[in-house]
Structure formats: C-alpha cells, structure tokens
Structure 1
C-alpha cells in the first residue's frame, strides 16, 4: 500500500509544480502584454494625428506666468492672438495669414495707437 501512496504524492507534487509554472508563465505574459498594448495605442494615435490633419495650428506660445500664456493660433488662414489663463481664453487680436511678419504687425498697431492718441490729444 505504500507504493500507491508514494505514487499519489509524486503526482500531487508534479501537479503543484505544474500549476506554479502556469501561474508564472501567465504573469510573464500579462507583464509583456501591457507594454505591447501601450505601444500599439501610441502607434494608432500617431497614425490618427497624421491622417486627421487639424485646421487649427499653434504657431507660437509665450508663457507669461505659471498658468498664463499668449498663443498665436492659425485657423483657416487667419492668425489669432489669444490669452489663456487657468479659467478663461480671451481673443486679443486677429491677423491676416503669413502675409506679414508678427513684428511688422506690431509696428503697425503701434502706429495706429500713436495716431489715435494724437487725434485724441487734438480734441482735448
């Protein structure tokens, strides 16, 4: 009777070892599967960004503080200067598309403001 009992103990040990290996292999598969899924998600997002080219382009961003910034955005050939804070987005000025440089536009605005100030000074 001792032989069948020893045989049964050996089968149980092999069964326990086999189930431990199954758990280890499953764990390795899950650990390898997570990065593979993340890599695939990044690939598909990049492909979608290439295919679905947006009509909105951020031309330039200037940080003004921790949560405040100026953004020059181009939408359908028109450039918009917007102010962005943590709580709001404000339209500051519109510019025609790449016809003129930003510096020349600002000089034009300064000229307009100086002529407005001169005309207001004449009235007073």
Structure 2
C-alpha cells in the first residue's frame, strides 16, 4: 500500500510541475495581449517610431508627436533633443541616412573653410 501512496505522490508532484510550467507562458501571453489592447485603446499622441540601442543604457529614439518626428538621445541620466523632422513616413534608417548626408556636407564645408 505504501508503494501506491508513493507513486500517487510522485504523480501529484509531476502534474503540479507540468501545471506550473504551462501556467507561466500562459500568464506571459495574457499580459502581452492585454498590454497590446491597452495600447490600442489608449491611442497616445506620442508614438515611439523606432529605438536604436547604442550601449547598455544609451539609446537613440525616433518619436512622433503631433505629426513631427523628433530624434532624441536617451541615457540613464538625461534625455537630449538631437533633431526634428517632418513626418514623411520615413523609416528610421532613412532618417539616419539623411542625417549622415547632411553631416557629411557640413564637414566638407568646414574643411573647405579651413583650407582657405
């Protein structure tokens, strides 16, 4: 009779473990689903278009506010406005390419001034 009791206890532990293992992903899925529903209902005027991580606590963020896109730098201690763009439905990469082109032409102008 003790063998039956021990086997029953082992099965109870195994079933409980399977339940806990299945319960965790189910809870995560529900949290993600409710969070997405809140985002749809909450329709904020501020949208994070894209985020590019630069390090452990540093990020570049492209944020859209009232039809204008802002490129901001975010660190653990500060947020800095880097640039404003009109909203033309450009991708983050296209915006960064545009900034690179402008910085390149600005540096060429500065080099030409220095050479004169």
State the match for 2:107 in structure 1. Answer: none
2:35 to 30, 37, 45: 45
Structure possessing the higher relative contact order (Cα contacts under 8 Å, 6 or more residues apart): 2
Q: Identify unmatched segments of 5+ residues in structure 2.
A: 103-116
Question: Which structure is larger by alpha-carbon Rg, 1 or 2?
Answer: 1
Provide TM-score, normalisation by structure 2: 0.54
Conserved? CA contact 2:51–2:59, under 8 Å: no
State the match for 2:25 in structure 1. Answer: 35
Aligned in 2, Cα 1:16/1:38: closer, same or farther, shift over 3 Å? same
State the match for 1:6 in structure 2. Answer: none
Q: Identify unmatched segments of 5+ residues in structure 1.
A: 1-10, 108-124
Conserved? CA contact 1:80–1:92, under 8 Å: yes
Provide TM-score, normalisation by structure 1: 0.52
Number of aligned residues:
92
CA shift for structure 1 position 55: 0.7
